[in-house]
Amino acid sequence: MRNITVIGTGYVGLVSGSCFAEVGNRVICCDVDERKINMLQSGVVPIYEPGLEDMVARNKEQGRLHFTTDVGAAIEASDIVYIAVGTPMSETGEADMRYVMSAAKKIGEHLNGYKIIVNKSTVPVGTGELVREVVQANKMAPWATFDVVSNPEFLREGSALSDCMNMDRAVVGSDNPEAASAIAELHAPFNTRVFMTDLESAEMIKYAANTFLATKISFINAIANICERVGANVSDVAEGMGMDSRIGGKFLQAGIGYGGSCFPKDTYALAHIADKSGYEFELLKSVIRTNQKQRMLVVDKLREAIGSLAGKRIAVLGLAFKPNTDDMREAPSLTIVPELLRAGASIRAYDPIAAEAASRLLSDEVMYADSVEAAVVGCDACVILTEWSDVVGMSLAQVRTLLAKPIIIDGRNCFSLDEMEREGFVYHSIGRRP
Ligand code: UGA
């Protein structure tokens, strides 16, 4: 059992803090955002993540998980301090390091003995060193010592708890073997492989992993676009490719491109890091461009299917960047819905969880329905943007009778071509010619 403080109660901080508490550590999660901490103290989790509210409640009740806005006191109370603050994309595409640096300054000011400072935020290579300098420069207690470790996070939104409790691997980077071992030991209850390396390589692993996954997605989307032109079926192509264990079948689902708070930000950031280092990462720049273009495909396909969009009623199913989250960051819907409105269509949207978050970002002209059926009724066509289970599981027979015209443009390849033909739909998907 260790005393761990986690600075930042965003996605990563809250999930990792809760999981460390779940396996028996005493964890203090702190944040300067009073509203968030008040919510957490009263048992309300500010983000939607299946299972998280129960895990937070259980660990709070058993006295292992605490929340506070007093960041200084939280730092003083633990010998392991995780930095899990946001690194949003700045205007130049670089990671904005403001919050990481202010956390490091705070740690320096409250360093009251030996501490291991662990960076979990996704940060440019060299940040560990920078954190070391900032802590050292702000140290109030001359006798206090510390080590810096990088322990990047690999969890996915929507399956964060199982990703965290059953992680593929933990990466621990440090120049101090004892500090690295202490952080490696924290992962023993998760029954996972721990890969130990130096600080810079650990920081690079996170970017390399995320941008490689983004590359897989853009690659299969490019293949999908060719499949459409030559009459191949991208689902079969991906399955056949993925059977080669050197390639692997995961992250080969063609669609309208990747969104979310990580891939878009991290691809831009690594392209920037590469430029700054004197190497032009042309491949990654193409990955980004391919992803941007992919979003508009559903609008093109819709126009092909129904002609001008002016005055047409369109049902949009799914708004979140992927299922099981209310996260709207970089969601393809934020580009697609405004484009449909600009073209003169009226929109009735359905998203089981993200509708409220979406309504704050989309035009007031968008109407919202509380079920798939209510969204599609009387519409000239239906567009699928997120593969929520109630979208994938919708009654096709019922939807066909409710739609004014049985037209579905599926940006996530939720249904088989045979099934849609049997059900009598005009069905356009990605990389599969009807
Ligand atoms: C991603 C990584 O998968 C995590 O390992 C990483 O820890 C996280 O970023 C992070 O850096 O914090 P996440 O953004 O939650 O996780 O979501 P993913 O499940 O990876 O999906 C990202 C996007 O790619 C979604 O828009 C999804 O629809 C899209 N995607 C995914 C595809 O279009 N095709 C696929 O085959 C897989």
pLDDT digits (tens, 9 = 90+) for 90-109: 888 888 999 999 999 999 99
CA of 181 to the centre of ligand 1 (A): 29
Instruction: Give the model confidence (pLDDT) of 43-63 as tens digits.
Output: 999 998 999 999 999 999 999
Query: Which atom of ligand 1 is least distant from the CA of 252?
Result: 36
Pocket perturbation via mutation, ligand 1, pick of 263, 412, 430 by most ligand atoms within 8 A of CB: 263
**Nearest-CA residue for atom 10 of ligand 1:** 262
Task: Find the 156 Cα to ligand 1 centroid distance in Å.
Answer: 6
**Residues facing residue 118 across a β-bridge:** 82, 149
Residue type, 223: I
Fold agreement (3-197, 206-293): no
Question: What's the whole-model pTM score?
Answer: 0.94
Distance CA 63, CA 190 (A): 21
Domain at 3-197, CATH class: alpha beta
Q: Measured in Å, how far apart are the chain's first and last C-alpha atoms?
A: 58
In angstroms, rounded to a whole number, what is the distance separating the alpha carbons of residues 73 and 341?
Answer: 50
Q: What are phi and psi of 36, to 5 degrees?
A: -65, -45
Residue range 206-293 forms a domain whose CATH class is mainly alpha
Q: Which of the residues 30, 164, 227, 262 is marked catalytic?
A: 262
Percentages helix, strand, coil for the chain (3-state, rounded to 5) are: 45, 15, 40
Q: Residue ranges per domain, the chain?
A: 3-197, 206-293, 295-428
Given a cut of 50, the residues of the chain with pLDDT beneath it are: none
ipTM value for the complex: 0.98
Pairwise CA distance, residues 113 & 111, whole Å: 6
Task: Please state, in angstroms and rounded to a whole number, the distance separating the CA atoms of residues 326 and 388.
Answer: 11
Please state the separation of Cα 171 from the chain's center in Å: 19
Residue 107: per-residue pLDDT: 97
Active site residue 262: yes
For ligand 1, whether the C-beta of 157 sits within 6 Å is yes
Output the CA 197–ligand 1 centroid distance in Å: 25
Topology of the domain comprising 295-428: Rossmann fold (3.40.50)
Pocket test for ligand 1, best of 52, 239, 258, 392 (most atoms within 8 A of CB): 258
Residue nearest atom 25 in ligand 1 by C-alpha distance: 258
Alpha carbons within 13 angstroms on the beta-carbon side of residue 57 total 8
Three-state SS annotation for 79-148: CEEEECCCCCECCCCCECCHHHHHHHHHHHHCCCCCEEEEECCCCCCCHHHHHHHHHHHCCCCCCCCEEE
Residue 322: CB within 6 Å of ligand 1?
Answer: yes
**Closest residue CA from atom 27 of ligand 1:** 258
